[in-house]
Amino acid sequence: MGDHTGRLPDTKDLLRLSQPLGREIPLHLLVLGCWLVAFGAAAVMEYAQHASLWFPPTAVTFAAVLVMGPRTLPILFLACVFVVLLNGQIFQRELSMSEVMLAGLSFGLTHTAAYGALALVIRAAADRDGPFGSFPRVNAFLLGGVVAAGVPAVLGSLSLITTRAAEAADITILIAPRWIGDYAGLITLGPLMVIALARAAHHLAVPTPGGLRAFVHPETPRQPWRRAGGKLLALALLTTGVLAIAATFPDSESLVFLLFLCLPLQLWIVHSETALASLLGILLFSLLLAAAASLSDLGNQALMLQFIVISLAVSSHLGLAVPALYRDNFRMRQLLTHDSLTGALARNFFEDGAREGLQQCELKAEPACLVMIDLDNLKQINDQFGHAAGDRALKSLAEICASQLAPGQLLGRLGGDEFALFLGERTRSDVEALLKNIREALAQESARDPDAAAAASFGIAEFVPGAGPGDYQQLLAEADQAMYRDKRGAALSA
C-alpha cells in the first residue's frame, strides 16, 4: 500500500522504518531479562507462600512502560504468563494445565494493566509538560502507586483462590502482604529502574519522553563518590547490625523498631548527595531487610519490616522532591509579583511596597523619593526595528535601573514603557546623582546596541518628613508631572 502520493515505499523507506524497531529489540530483551531476574529475587526472598517483603517486578514493569510506552506491554504480559507456568511445573501443584494457564493470564493481565496504567499517566504528563520532578508529580507516583499495587493484590488473590492455588480462607492474609509487598517493590526500585532503562534507551537512540530525566528528581550538586560511598557503607552497617540484633532475640519484637535509626542517615544522604546515591540507599536498605525476612526468624515481623522500608522510601522521595517544590513555588511567586519581561515588580506589588516604605519613613522621620521613568521613543523602535528591539530596550532600561539600587529600594513596571523607583531614606540630591549614573549607563548601552537605543525621561517627587502625611498617589502624580517636564525639555533641546 503506497503513501498519499500513490508512491510505493522503496527499500530506503523500509530500512528507515525498520531502524527504530531494530534499536528497540535489545531494549525489549533487557526489560525481559530484568523482569525475570526481579521475579526470581522476589521468589528467593519469600517469607511465606505467595508473599515477599517486596516484589521488584512491579518496578520493572512501571519503568519499562514509562520509558518505552505501551509497546513493551506484550513482552511483560508474556513474562507474567511464563513464570506462572514455570512455577506450576516446578512445584507440581495439583492443578490442571487450563487452571495454570488461567492463573498466568489473570496475573499477566492484572499486573501489566495496573502498573502500565500508572506509567502511561505519568508518561503522558512528561510528554506534555516536559520536566516533572516537582512535588505534585512525586505525590502522583507515590499515591498512584498505592492504587496500582492494590488492584493486582486484590484480583491476584482472588485468582489464586479461583484456580485453587490458595484456599478461600486465606484471602485476608493474602491481600495485605501482596499489596504492601508490591508497593514496596515499586517505590524502592522503580525510579532506579527508570534511570537504568532511560540510559539504555539513550545509548540505543530510542526516543523517550522529554520530561523523563526529571522524573527521578534533578541532581543535587555532585560530590565525590568516595564520600557518598562512605555514607552508604555506614547505612549498610547500621542496618545489618540492627537486623543481627533483632534476629538474635526474635522474641523481642520491639528491637525491629531500631531500624528507624537508619532514617536520619538516609535523609542525610538525600540532602547532601546526588539523587542516584539516595536511590541506591533505598535499594540497599530494602535488599537487606528482604534478605533478613527470608533467611532468619524475622519473617513473622514482615509487615513491620515492610512498613519501615516504605517509610524510608517515601521520606527519601519527598526529600528529593522538596528542592523542586521550592523552585516551583519561587517561579510562581516571580510570575505573580514580577513583570516577566523586565524582572521589575508588577504594579500592584510595587505600589504596596512603596506605600509601606512611605509609612516606615514617616515613622522614622526619614526622607524618601518616588521616581517616574518613561522609555523614550519605544513606538519608533518597535516600528523601525521590530518588537524584539523594543523588548531589548525595555529590558536594558530595567536592568540598568536595578543595578543602581541598594537593598530595600524598589523598581516597578507600571505598564507599557513606564517604570517607577521608590528610594527610601534618600534626598532629592541623592536621587539626582543616581539618575545621572543611569543616564550614562543607558547612553553606553545604546552605543553597543543602536537598534534598541534606550533613552528615558525621569521625574522626581520627594517626601519630606514633617511636611504632611506621605500619600503615594499624590507623590506619583507629582513625579509624573516632573517626568513630562523632563521629556518636553529633552525634546526642545533636541
Q: Distance between alpha carbon 345 and the CA centroid of its chain, in Å?
A: 28
For 354-381, b where at least 16 C-beta lie within 10 A, e where not — what string?
Answer: beebbeebbeeeebbbbbbbbbbbbeeb
- Element (DSSP H or E) covering residue 208: none
Kindly report the CATH number assigned to the domain that includes residue 410. Answer: 3.30.70.270
Closest CA to 290 of 54, 34, 36: 54
Full residue range of the structural domain in which residue 188 is found = 11-336
Strand partners, 52: 46
Percent of the chain with pLDDT strictly greater than 70: 81
pLDDT tens digits for range 76-129: 999 999 988 887 654 445 667 777 787 788 889 999 999 999 999 888 876 655
Domain annotation covers residue 305? yes
Domain annotation covers residue 342? no
Strand partners, 423: 369
| 3-state SS class at 345 | strand
Q: Where is pLDDT greater, at 464 or 136?
A: 464
Which region among 31-40, 275-284, 483-492 has the lowest average model confidence (pLDDT)?
483-492
Whether 161 and 237 share a structural domain:
yes
Provide DSSP, 230-298.
HHHHHHHHHHHHHHHHHHHSTT-GGGGGGGGGHHHHHHHHHHHS-HHHHHHHHHHHHHHHHHHHHHSGG
Domain annotation covers residue 153? yes
Last residue of a domain, one of 310, 336, 362: 336
What average pLDDT is seen over the chain?
83
Provide DSSP, 79-132.
HHHHHHHHHHHHHT-S--HHHHHHHHHHHHHHHHHHHHHHHHHHHHHHHHHS--
d(CA 271, CA 420): 41
- Element (DSSP H or E) covering residue 212: none
pLDDT tens digits for range 406-447: 988 999 999 889 999 999 989 999 999 999 999 999 988 888
**Is pLDDT of 201 > 80?**
yes
- Element (DSSP H or E) covering residue 319: helix 302-337
Domain annotation covers residue 6? no
Which residue in this structure is represented by grid cell 503615594? 472
Whether 371 and 304 share a structural domain:
no
d(CA 346, CA 341): 11
pLDDT tens digits for range 440-468: 999 888 888 887 777 899 999 999 887 66
Domain annotation covers residue 2? no
- 405 close to 413: Cβ distance less than 8 angstroms: no
Q: Is the dihedral of CA 216, 220, 226, 231 positive or negative?
A: negative
**Is pLDDT of 68 > 70?**
yes
Number of domains in the chain: 2
- Element (DSSP H or E) covering residue 168: none
Looking only at the bridges linking them, the beta strands covering 410-415 and 51-52 are unpaired
Query: For position 2, what pLDDT does the model report?
Result: 42
Question: Residue 157: what residue type?
Answer: S
pLDDT tens digits for range 344-389: 999 999 999 999 999 999 888 899 999 999 998 888 888 888 999 9
Whether 326 and 433 share a structural domain:
no
Question: Residue 389: what residue type?
Answer: A
d(CA 151, CA 214): 27
d(CA 198, CA 208): 7
- 345 close to 159: Cβ distance less than 8 angstroms: no
Query: For position 145, what pLDDT does the model report?
Result: 93
Query: For position 469, what pLDDT does the model report?
Result: 58
Whether 315 and 413 share a structural domain:
no
**Is pLDDT of 215 > 60?**
no
Q: Where is pLDDT greater, at 106 or 59?
A: 59
For 335-351, b where at least 16 C-beta lie within 10 A, e where not — what string?
Answer: eeebbeebebbbeebbb
Mean pLDDT of 63-86: 91
| 3-state SS class at 203 | helix
Whether 304 and 229 share a structural domain:
yes
**Is pLDDT of 264 > 60?**
yes
Whether 305 and 370 share a structural domain:
no
pLDDT band at 135 (very low <50, low <70, confident <90, very high): low
Whether 143 and 255 share a structural domain:
yes
Domain annotation covers residue 27? yes
Which region among 113-127, 253-267, 463-477 has the lowest average model confidence (pLDDT)?
463-477
CA distances (Å), 391 to each of 35, 284, 339, 388, in order? 54, 53, 12, 5
The C-alpha angle with vertex 278 and arms to 41 and 127, in degrees rounded to 5, equals 85
Q: Is the dihedral of CA 43, 44, 46, 48 positive or negative?
A: positive
Query: For position 16, what pLDDT does the model report?
Result: 45
Closest CA to 328 of 135, 139, 141: 135
- Helix, strand, coil percentages, rounded to 5, for the chain: 75, 5, 20
Percent of the chain with pLDDT strictly greater than 90: 43
Whether 186 and 256 share a structural domain:
yes
Looking only at the bridges linking them, the beta strands covering 418-424 and 46-48 are unpaired
- Element (DSSP H or E) covering residue 464: none
d(CA 317, CA 313): 6
Query: For position 218, what pLDDT does the model report?
Result: 47
Domain annotation covers residue 360? yes
Last residue of a domain, one of 305, 336, 367: 336
Domain annotation covers residue 1? no
d(CA 214, CA 218): 6
d(CA 199, CA 158): 38
Strand partners, 21: none
Query: For position 168, what pLDDT does the model report?
Result: 60
Last residue of a domain, one of 314, 336, 358: 336
Whether 353 and 282 share a structural domain:
no
Strand partners, 310: none
Whether 232 and 288 share a structural domain:
yes
Whether 442 and 311 share a structural domain:
no
Whether 319 and 390 share a structural domain:
no
